[in-house]
Amino acid sequence: MRVLIAGAGRLGTQIAQVLSAARNDVTLVEYDDDRVAELDGLNQVRLLTGDACDPGTLERAGALACDLVIATTGRDEDNLVIALLAKGRFGVARVAARVNDAENAWLFDERWGVDVAVPAATPLISLIEEATGATDTVALLRLSKAGVEVIETAITARSRAAGRTLGEIQLPAGTVVATVVRDGRPTVPGPGVRLLPGDELLLVSHEATEREIHAAFQ
């Protein structure tokens, strides 16, 4: 599947990493040169500097051949313009757009080219599954055939795990930490990694429930 993601903030970057790891062809568009430089070398993701609200930028990013466009910028007005261009000008089959302000949710519908409106608080896994329209697209995250689940949990200032190292956390049996995402970038989950508020963890388990995993960190 060819995917174009507009906005290389934490959310857009995470989606790009997951979908590219699931062997999709992913292009990530970001207008901030410094942010693009930070992400240089992002595995299996094509980076493009430019304003995704500009039709020329979308065309250079491959919108004409895209199966899915996901607008994840921090501005609702930008996400709506990107969605409208993707659907109306480039005929993209499926368009998902992030809703940053809940009061604007009523705008995110077919009139603006939005097939899937995603509230900002939607968990990463749920967002990707809904945006792609099929759970098998993200088999990396749902390994049901092997009896394995990947569960997401976020560290807040109130989390019991905040300030502790991974080595100090007693994980449920059959569970390992796959990655710690910090500031939009994955961190190698060694035992010495100290968890900070804002960190997002993806854990792989074939025995523990989501409640048990959250209890270990929250």
Is residue 22 within 8 A of residue 43, CB to CB? The reply is: no
At position 9, the amino acid (one-letter code) is: G
Lookup: tokens for 155? 């560290």
Walk along the chain (218 residues) and give the pLDDT tens digit of each residue.
899 999 998 888 888 877 776 678 999 999 999 999 888 877 788 999 999 999 999 999 999 999 999 999 999 999 999 999 999 999 999 999 999 999 999 999 999 999 989 887 776 656 666 666 544 444 444 444 345 566 778 899 999 999 999 989 988 887 878 778 887 676 667 788 899 999 888 777 777 777 888 888 98
pTM: 0.65
Q: How far apart are CA 89 and CA 44, in angstroms?
A: 27
Q: How far apart are CA 192 and CA 156, in angstroms?
A: 19
> Most distant CA pair in the chain: distance in Å?
53
- E strands in the chain: 2-6, 25-30, 45-49, 68-71, 94-99, 116-119, 142-143, 148-154, 175-182, 185-187, 200-205
Q: How far apart are CA 59 and CA 218, in angstroms?
A: 44
Q: Which CATH architecture is the domain 2-138 placed in? A: 3-Layer(aba) Sandwich (3.40)
Q: Which CATH architecture is the domain 147-217 placed in? A: 2-Layer Sandwich (3.30)
Question: In the chain, where are the structural domains located?
Answer: 2-138, 147-217
